[in-house]
Amino acid sequence: MIFGVHGALWGNAMTWWDHETGSIWSQPLGEAIAGPLKGARVEQYPVSFTTWESWRTSHPDTLALDVPAGRSGFDLAEMLIVVDFGSEAAGYPVTELRRSGVINDVVAGLEIAVISDPGDPNQWAVLSRRLDDGIVELRVLAGEVRDTETNSVWDPLRGIARSGRHQGEILDLLPGFTAFPGDFDTFWPEGRVWQQ
């Protein structure tokens, strides 16, 4: 499907239209809100969120379109990280995530961890906590992400165990994205915002 920017806001967020049917889509929901495909959803893909500087440090060979623009007015510390699995959505305040380093939770029956990279608070990811032999509980200890049972060290953005009993095992990267806290109830009225 090919999308274009619709130009109107819905719930204080951008909308798209698809070239095939002319349906109008909500950016945060990934759902058609008007037109022939109303109610349809696009597939979400796992992402990691970071600054351009951090990305270039980790991936120096990256090529990107260079479009002159000013800095964004958005401060990540003021945002929520949203996990939306369709049947349930949850928001995680970035300030709380930076404080704790890891938030272990369950959304729509799936055990997840929302992780802020201990080495760079501008990078975060959402990982499944399920392994073939059980569920891991993650925490930040001595500047590293570790599981509480085996003390294995995990890559905070890729979910790969770097050392310990789980070395080489992988926690799946899951979809997550940022949203303004004031807009959370507009898009996910049945959702919940995580609180310590």
Number of residues that make up the chain: 196
Q: What is the largest CA-CA distance in the chain?
A: 53
Task: Give the model confidence (pLDDT) of 155-176 as tens digits.
Answer: 998 899 999 999 999 999 999 9
- Rounded distance, CA 168 to CA 163, Å? 8
- Rounded distance, CA 44 to CA 175, Å? 6
- Rounded distance, CA 79 to CA 63, Å? 28
Task: Give the model confidence (pLDDT) of 58-87 as tens digits.
Answer: 788 988 877 776 666 677 888 999 999 989
Per-residue pLDDT band at 9 (split at 50, 70, 90): confident
pLDDT for the residue 147: 96
Per-residue pLDDT band at 49 (split at 50, 70, 90): low
- Rounded distance, CA 104 to CA 159, Å? 14
Q: 185: helix, coil or strand?
A: helix
pLDDT for the residue 90: 97
Give the domains, in start order, of the chain with CATH numbers. 3-34 (no CATH), 48-66+74-193 (2.102.10)
